[in-house]
Chain A
Amino acid sequence: GAVVSQHPSRVICKSGTSVKIECRSLDFQATTMFWYRQFPKQSLMLMATSNEGSKATYEQGVEKDKFLINHASLTLSTLTVTSAHPEDSSFYICSARAGTVYEQYFGPGTRLTVT
């Protein structure tokens, strides 16, 4: 089946610094990738949808200047959390659409801790 990877799996950063999370589709091309955030014991909340070669579409309430998304190629999307604060600590999960809208595969997630 289709595989999506995320790197890093865990990251700890200091408050005020920026951190980049990569999402890669390993064996398929993904024209659309999605970024979700999940706080402990809560559901996945969609942050943004990114299409290769164009600007990401952010969900209401998500700060586009804080969460920078770049979908530079058909196999790579990156999420950069800028000027991170402790409240940004969360589990970030990406997913990639393989072809039809039925086929959406999730990465293993990245646990971000901001100290």
Chain B
Amino acid sequence: AQKITQTQPGMFVQEKEAVTLDCTYDTSDPSYGLFWYKQPSSGEMIFLIYQGSYDQQNATEGRYSLNFQKARKSANLVISASQLGDSAMYFCAMRASGYSSASKIIFGSGTRLSIRP
């Protein structure tokens, strides 16, 4: 069975500091994908970054980078130079069931990030 675990229910970080949000996963599929989404108080899900299990390099998107450690089954999100607007709920997610049309995205429990001015 596939599972996503986020062990940090909440984090406080000073503005302009970097922050790492933890995510571990479990799957028996050799092919999978990992996502990070941001959910502000408005409720919309904002896609941040994607890492495929066969990707050789860690994914980066602007201030977001994904620290992918396959052997440890971890996919931590790193936000550099945090901003007040980064305060939100962050979800790690995994595409289960490989590349088949039946594949679906399952979510971790989330981490609430609060940026202090």
Contacts and interface: CB of A to CB of B under 8 A. Distances in A.
Contact of A49 (B47, B104, B108): B104
Interface residues of A, number: 22
Contact of A108 (B33, B43, B47): B43
A34 B110 CA distance: 19
B99 A101 contact: yes
B104 A44 contact: no
Contact of B109 (A31, A43, A91, A102): A43
Contacts of A95: 45, 105
Interface of B: 33, 37, 42-45, 47, 50, 52, 91, 95, 99-110
Interface of A: 31-32, 34, 42-46, 49, 51, 57, 91, 93, 95, 101-102, 104-106, 108-109, 111
